[in-house]
Structure 1
Amino acid sequence: MQVLKTETPNINDRIEQFEGSIFLNVGKQIQRIPLKRIEYIKGYGDYMKVKCKERSHTVHVTMKNLQKILPSTDFYRVHKSYIIRLDKIEKVFPKHVEIDDTNIPISRNNKQELLSLIPWVK
């Protein structure tokens, strides 16, 4: 009897397969959310509202843990309660940014770094 050996993909192959998405506990299910759809994330203690263009998802995760898995090239924490997707910014004001007609506050400490991350002509 001959045994067929099947290869299981290594962890790097599996990560690459899901690149561009995160999986979050939404209610009683684990849901895949493409990163490009996320506009911003608002914190409510240990719960986060992940705002996408078409809908919002409320998930039980800390801001710190969520910030660790999001790519820092695309997302920036502008305030203790907000992480934004940089390419979704429509306008920058002295104390807030606008994303999809929503005003999101910028902390004084984060404003200069935010301005250095976006391409703008001075």
Structure 2
Amino acid sequence: MGSHTPKNILIVGAARFIASHVANKLVRSYPDYKMAVLDKLDYCSNRKNLIPSKPSPNFKFVKGDIGSADLVNYLLITESIDTIMHCAAQTHVDNSFGNSFEFTKNIIYGTPVILEACKVTGQIRKFSEH
């Protein structure tokens, strides 16, 4: 596969600490790229982390869960996504002891939902999981 220049990027888990800094940096540094960010806003994410990007015309926030195949497919198609950065994961290992299913749901179920959407839409050129 040749080189790929992203134009429409989806960052999942974007309101979390590290991913929000990546999203804000990309929005500022690449105004020609369209940035869609998806986060369900649970205990380890905060929409305020994305305030620097909010006024940018190349930024769109969507509240939702990567476990929703309909939502992920919809975003890939309507936003013409060609690149995905998957940063959605629960944090704080201690939280996994009380409810291990909820803790691992994003990775065990959400990641295959995203990968299947990539396959179905056929438009993703680059996928990165962090």
TM-score (norm 2): 0.25
Judging by fraction of residues, say which structure has more helix.
2
Q: Which has the higher contact order (CA 8 A, sep 6+)?
A: 2
TM-score (norm 1): 0.26
Judging by fraction of residues, say which structure has more strand.
1
